[in-house]
Structure 1
Amino acid sequence: MMSRLPLLIELGTEELPVKALPGLAQAFFDGVIAALDKRGVGFERGDAKPLYTPRRLAVYLPAVEIEQPEQASEVLGPYLNIALDADGQPTRALQGFAAKAGVEWSQLERMTDAKGERFVHRSVRAGARTADLLPEIVSDALAGMPIPKPMRWGDHDYAFARPVHWLVLLLGKEVIDAQVLGVRSDRMSRGHRFEHDKPVWIGEPGEYVDAMRGARVLVDPDERRARIVAEVEQAARSVGCDARITDDNLEQVVCLVEWPCAVLCSFEPDFLAVPQEALIETMEINQKFFPVLRNGQLTEHFVGIANIESKDPAEVRKGYERVIRPRFSDARFFFDEDLKQGLAAMGDGLKNVTYQAKLGTVADKVARVAALAKTIAAQVGVDPALAHRAAELSKNDLQSRMVGEFPELQGIAGRHYAIADGEPEGVALAIAEAYRPRFAGDDIALSPLGKVLAIAERLDTLAGGFAAGLKPTGNKDPFALRRNALGLARTVIESGFDLSIYELIARAYLSIPEKCQEEAAKNRNSAKSLEDYVVWSNWLEKLQAQTSKDHISVMVEILDFTLDRLRGYYADKGVPTSHFNAVAELKPESLADFDTRIDAIGRFAALPEAEALAAAHKRIGNILKKADIDIPSAIDRDLLSEPAESALAEAVEAAIGDTDEALHRHDYVQVLERMARLRPQVDAFFDAVMVNADDPAVRGNRLALLKRLADRFGAVAAIEHLSG
């Protein structure tokens, strides 16, 4: 086995951008790994990971081969008919090839491929020393890093995220001589800017983490993270409270400090009269502080993280408390002024705020959402009047001073103002919950009224977005239609609301301005199937609305877009793609029913009969598609001549009778489990019976039998997707 030594690369810089730091570190680490792989240099990665602080990016690998393996080369030369003349002597083409390879033509080997025999030059040379390759390995890794706005410094041509000041490059105990971004490599790192402002000797790579810790630098981000959490929690416990530690805030603090030290601070309790969300937003977003809560309620305490172990913590505390007061004072002023105006009065200004040029003002959107919410509420047992009122007030806080300063408080501020105005508690809560889920992984609205409002809001956004030609393209999604579609689907499914997605989309689309509808219909992607047209026409008839196939195409596109968002939703829950496709092909009218079918397919797939039945169902589908005669609607028992087909017909009828009630109550698990018991009869049928009999009547009867079987399976899902 080739000798191996540990490798350390550390690039020291000015403070790197906080939010980009983890990505830069990972890219540097991955780039080094890729560059080693590209050159065939073996290594043991072990549990190695990116190491970084605000002032450095580092890669430590415990074992890297000290040289490449032998490098084999094969260069193809001319074919014999070109390489040799009629006397078997080398042509100029062969002589040139041999000269380029540095050998006599007679030393070349021959090989045969699909086109014939040709000359080839094969050689083996010793691999390069890893030490000689490392400078270009580091350069390759740096060149591949995603730096959107590289900086230049001095009068040099090179650029990086921030100016570079030092480079540690060690293979074992040896310093590898290199110059990268204008800096010559060494074994001297640098400690904490204030706590240990002097060079740090790194004897060999394995000493790196400990040596830096001794210099008041925690280069392992996991170690910094754990220390921050422990100190923040301890500080909060010292006053009998709990700390609020969000992932985003924690990660940013991890990227701001090299030697974290928690400082417990406080502010005047009078500020607690302001909605706690505003104060929390200020602490986390603007100052990167950690709020301190008691029983879920904000207290006058907070924790700041210093990048220094101060000899006078009181001065650090005063500084943190001093910077937070102006922001809190602003929030209190905005809140008090908004209370004077009142939430209802704020809504007057929405008539002058454009939501989208083709879709009208925000007030127009509110009116559409209110109508949708009222209709949905009636179907799910929620008071329609309350739903309408909550929708009417849901956007008013966009005109508030508080939301103007803190956009993230949309809905949350509205809830506080609604309570102050004496609105019903459910209405106030729904105004805040209408925005949920706000981000990936967030919970849906909790209250029934909030769920109704969230559904109505997202329906209008989706329908309006598609009608106005705002469909996402690539990474562009200005109206967040992807997030809205997933939020709509999640809210309906997780609420268990048995609503028709066809009706919801149709109502939302038909409420969009007619001019916008007409433009959308003209620009539709493609004509849809007749089946789609029939399904939607039935719903439009129920809604007493007349519209064209072009409009229906847009509605189907909205449905397909929404279902496509569910693909990722179920994948995250571990649902195989084949299970999703089996249900999605049916386009169930209810998304809650969609979810029930997904669960049933998962249980069916676990049965030992599932794979064979799925394959049989696929086979049946292909047979029925190729049928060259009209398939009878019923089975004629007098035409059942083979024992296997009689047995299958009897078993199918029994299974259908046993599952009618279960299918009616949407107990798809029972339906599929009962149908799974048909496997012996299905297998026997295909073993003994020829479906395409010469007699058209017999052939049609057998096709009718298979169709009856397929229809019952197909009433739950397209199970052929489970067949590999």
Structure 2
Amino acid sequence: MNILLEIGMEEIPARFLKPALNDLEKNIKIYLKENRVAFEEIKTYGTPRRLVLSILNLAEKQEDLNILNQGPAKHIAFGSNGDLTKAGMGFVKSQGIEATDLEIIETSKGEYIAAKKFVKGKETKTLLPEALKGLIEGLTFPKSMKWSDKKMKFARPIQWILALSDNDLVEFEVEGYKSGRISRGHRFFGEKEFTINNIDDYFIKIRDNNVIIDIEERKNMIVEMINKNCSSVGEKVVIEDELLDEVTNLVEYPYPIVGTFNSEFLEVPQDVLIISMQVHQRYFPILDSEGNLLPKFVVVRNGIDGSENVKKGNEKVLSARLSDARFFYQEDLKKPLFKNVEKLKHVVFQKDLGTIFQKLERSKKIAEKLIDILGFEGNKSDILRTIELSKADLVSNMIGEKEFTKLQGFMGAEYALKSGENEKVAKGIEEHYYPRYQGDKLPQNIEGVITGICDRIDTLVGCFGVGLIPSGSKDPFALRRSALGIVNIIFNSKLDLSIDELINLSLNVLETDGVLKKNKEKVKTDVMEFMNQRIINVFLDKGYRRDFIMAVLSVKNENLLEVEKKLLTLNEVSSNANFNELVSLLKRVGNISKDYKDKVNINEELLKEDAEKSLYNFYMEFVSISEEILGKNDYLIYLKTILSGKEIIDAFFDSVMVMDKDENIKNNRLSLLTSLNTIFNRVANLSLIEIK
């Protein structure tokens, strides 16, 4: 049998549609699995006015069920006289059977009593009313509402419920709404109501009534019609995926229309105009072949054809929006950007961390140290100026009025240039926000790089320092994104910068300014652990083995670039035929020596066996060259040197008893192994590597 459920409602927000359909599919699959009902395929469809579920080739009945419930052991269930004990009788009653129905089964632990049950599957059609009613009542939304005298909550008031099993009606009721055979067409271009005779009839009539229920079909229609009808030669309609998805879920039948606006608005930066069109009005902007904005846009009408009234109405609305943008822009240009900095003294970033102005002051102090560490003294004045102005656009009319918050940084750069600041500073103001999200572009000039790092590390360490630590999905200050941003910026800019050192710089500034409320060392440990998780994720995304990553991060590293160099080296060395055997030997070295707590002191005179003398000589030779090798960061030579000692280590374990009866000899051998383990693990804790 085939099943169709349509939940009709008032228009729901576009962002609610796909999650609701996903939940419908997930919940019905769970129900059918739990109730042993097979099916071939489940499909969902949706528009702002309806959620549709289709189940294909649903089994006519549940699968029969054979159950074997195991009870207590036989010797516990039966007394010495062969009668059931209280435990045995209790099991019989709990299973609802007669004592004569009990079975004895053999298990690995002996004989046990058991009860076999056969449950005959019910006809599926008897389950459907409860199942479909439960689906509707079980739907949740980011925001729900009550209406009329109804007790249930839903995204928007329910208007009708259509429920069919092949040709038959599935009868149930939800809050006074009885399921039926009635559906509704497009609000303006379809029948108010029409009767559905069977499931095939539904798919024909819904289309005849100008409703395209398939989301992907509507999306493709929009793209095809825009490409065919909405642009001339040399023009390009900007179709961003996120906006396309939203517009698709705002209409039941799409029809793109080209509108225009006054070209005088083009004096405003085009990013402002594009944001206004895309975010505020859900319009698609049109560019020329050079990428310049044209005074044209595309609006997608919820209708089957064009309309001059709809076109003029949208043009009027957009004109009002762009007038606001132009007004804000012109007002902001009446004073230089730096004049806004003073206003930041009255904008609170966080009550314990102070104002945004105080945050900028801390960032400048961190930057001064970073500049010295990284050797960017020649860029010092531009970097500090970038930090000083980096948040000045937050109190501009354009950003401060909350109309164009997506343009923070971009407007700061625009206003900086208009105020006479140099291009490096302006670019740094814009770029210090990068990356804004996963996969976003990264800052390219050093002004943006340093400003971005200082801003993020102050936020991260500052929040941890006053007890604002992310938990679960709660991360109001986007600390995970800040940490990931720092890591990606360091990699992209190839900075010789230690995360440990960076955290210390921020902690010292917070402590000096009297902001730090938590124990300094505890904050450092927590932030380092938090950062390490982001670092691990970045390296995993790059394709490195998790055990290699953990092995390298478990030892002290100067910077992330060196971590990656070590990982590359491990990748190369791991291809050696002896690598796994060596790792196994090194684990043995570590395991034997890990509990040795006495003073490490190797006495050459106590080395009795040839194998331990050879191992000692290998160790001493390694010590003599290790500092030079590590000084050159030549990790490949270092690891190859360890590899070269495989046979010597092998021979030691084959012929030497470490735990000798003579306490002095035993401690001497443990000292040698402890020393070896220490020097072997200077590049990475090789004992953490898994043997593949």
Q: Which TM-score applies when normalising by structure 2?
A: 0.88
Residue 632 of structure 2 corresponds to 665
Give the alignment partner of residue 653 of structure 2, picking from 677, 680, 686.
Answer: 686
Report the CA distance shift for 1:151/1:519 in structure 2 as closer, same or farther (over 3 A).
closer
Report the CA distance shift for 1:518/1:291 in structure 2 as closer, same or farther (over 3 A).
closer
Structure 2: how far apart are the matches of 1:678 and 1:389? Answer: 55
Report the CA distance shift for 1:601/1:99 in structure 2 as closer, same or farther (over 3 A).
closer
Residue 448 of structure 1 corresponds to 446
Give the alignment partner of residue 279 of structure 1, picking from 249, 260, 273.
Answer: 273
* Residue 206 (structure 1) shift: 7.0
Residue 545 of structure 1 corresponds to none
1:714 and 2:672 correspond? no
* Residue 127 (structure 1) shift: 0.4
Residue 609 of structure 2 corresponds to 641
Query: 1:567-603 CA distances to partner (integer Å, 9 max, x unpaired)?
Result: 3333444444323322221242313323333443444
Contact 1:374 1:385 in 2 (8 A): no
Residue 340 of structure 2 corresponds to 346
> What pairs up with 1:265-664 in 2 under 5 angstroms?
265-294=259-288, 295-310=290-305, 312-382=306-376, 383-405=379-401, 406-512=404-510, 514=512, 516-517=514-515, 519-521=517-519, 551-627=520-596, 629-632=598-601, 636=604, 639=607, 641-643=609-611, 645=612, 663-664=630-631
Contact 2:164 2:198 in 1 (8 A): yes
* Residue 319 (structure 1) shift: 2.0
> What pairs up with 1:61-210 in 2 under 5 angstroms?
61-74=55-68, 104-110=98-104, 120-186=114-180, 188-197=182-191
Structure 1: how far apart are the matches of 2:202 and 2:565? Answer: 55
Bigger mean CA deviation after superposition, 114-123 or 242-251: 114-123
> What pairs up with 1:222-233 in 2 under 5 angstroms?
222-233=216-227
Give the alignment partner of residue 12 of structure 1, picking from 8, 11, 15.
Answer: 8
Structure 1: how far apart are the matches of 2:335 and 2:684? Answer: 55
Structure 2: how far apart are the matches of 1:462 and 1:277? Answer: 30
Structure 2: how far apart are the matches of 1:606 and 1:134? Answer: 58
Query: 1:47-91 CA distances to partner (integer Å, 9 max, x unpaired)?
Result: x55422212222334333221111234566788899778876678
* Residue 260 (structure 1) shift: 1.8
Structure 2: how far apart are the matches of 1:360 and 1:93? Answer: 68
Structure 1: how far apart are the matches of 2:525 and 2:157? Answer: 53
Structure 1: how far apart are the matches of 2:194 and 2:638? Answer: 71
* Residue 340 (structure 1) shift: 0.3
Structure 1: how far apart are the matches of 2:190 and 2:493? Answer: 57
Contact 2:328 2:397 in 1 (8 A): yes
SS in 2 for 1:319: helix
Residue 249 of structure 1 corresponds to 243
Query: 1:436-460 CA distances to partner (integer Å, 9 max, x unpaired)?
Result: 1112222221222211110111122
Contact 1:31 1:142 in 2 (8 A): no
Contact 1:224 1:254 in 2 (8 A): yes
Structure 1: how far apart are the matches of 2:382 and 2:91? Answer: 87
Contact 1:659 1:674 in 2 (8 A): no
Bigger mean CA deviation after superposition, 431-440 or 232-241: 232-241
Structure 2: how far apart are the matches of 1:182 and 1:384? Answer: 71
* Residue 385 (structure 1) shift: 0.9
AA in 1 matched with 2:687 = E
Report the CA distance shift for 1:64/1:420 in structure 2 as closer, same or farther (over 3 A).
same
Report the CA distance shift for 1:654/1:225 in structure 2 as closer, same or farther (over 3 A).
farther
* Residue 100 (structure 1) shift: 7.8
Structure 2: how far apart are the matches of 1:471 and 1:32? Answer: 38
Report the CA distance shift for 1:125/1:269 in structure 2 as closer, same or farther (over 3 A).
same
Structure 2: how far apart are the matches of 1:121 and 1:358? Answer: 65
Residue 525 of structure 1 corresponds to none
Query: 1:513-543 CA distances to partner (integer Å, 9 max, x unpaired)?
Result: 547456322xxxxxxxxxxxxxxxxxxxxxx
Contact 1:54 1:256 in 2 (8 A): yes
* Residue 173 (structure 1) shift: 4.7
* Residue 422 (structure 1) shift: 1.1
Structure 2: how far apart are the matches of 1:465 and 1:8? Answer: 51
SS in 1 for 2:15: coil
Contact 2:462 2:516 in 1 (8 A): no
SS in 1 for 2:334: helix
Contact 1:642 1:689 in 2 (8 A): no
Structure 2: how far apart are the matches of 1:480 and 1:238? Answer: 43
Report the CA distance shift for 1:423/1:167 in structure 2 as closer, same or farther (over 3 A).
same
Give the alignment partner of residue 40 of structure 1, picking from 28, 36, 41.
Answer: 36
Residue 535 of structure 1 corresponds to none
Report the CA distance shift for 1:394/1:515 in structure 2 as closer, same or farther (over 3 A).
closer
State, as a whole percentage, how many aligned pairs show the same letter.
34
AA in 2 matched with 1:269 = S
Report the CA distance shift for 1:229/1:565 in structure 2 as closer, same or farther (over 3 A).
same
How many correspondences in the alignment? 686
Bigger mean CA deviation after superposition, 277-286 or 214-223: 214-223
1:22 and 2:24 correspond? no
Report the CA distance shift for 1:617/1:517 in structure 2 as closer, same or farther (over 3 A).
farther
Residue 526 of structure 1 corresponds to none
1:56 and 2:50 correspond? yes
AA in 1 matched with 2:477 = F
Query: 1:82-103 CA distances to partner (integer Å, 9 max, x unpaired)?
Result: 9778876678997897678665
Contact 2:48 2:251 in 1 (8 A): yes
- Give 5+ residue unaligned stretches, structure 2: none
SS in 2 for 1:192: coil
AA in 2 matched with 1:27 = D
Structure 1: how far apart are the matches of 2:87 and 2:595? Answer: 59
* Residue 170 (structure 1) shift: 3.9
SS in 2 for 1:272: helix
Report the CA distance shift for 1:132/1:601 in structure 2 as closer, same or farther (over 3 A).
farther
Contact 2:337 2:389 in 1 (8 A): yes
* Residue 329 (structure 1) shift: 0.5
AA in 2 matched with 1:302 = F
Contact 1:292 1:302 in 2 (8 A): yes
Structure 1: how far apart are the matches of 2:651 and 2:121? Answer: 64
Residue 531 of structure 1 corresponds to none
Structure 1: how far apart are the matches of 2:215 and 2:605? Answer: 75
* Residue 348 (structure 1) shift: 1.8
Bigger mean CA deviation after superposition, 616-625 or 395-404: 616-625
Structure 1: how far apart are the matches of 2:674 and 2:237? Answer: 63
* Residue 707 (structure 1) shift: 4.4
SS in 2 for 1:440: coil
Structure 2: how far apart are the matches of 1:701 and 1:90? Answer: 67
Query: 1:275-309 CA distances to partner (integer Å, 9 max, x unpaired)?
Result: 22222221121111122234343332222111212
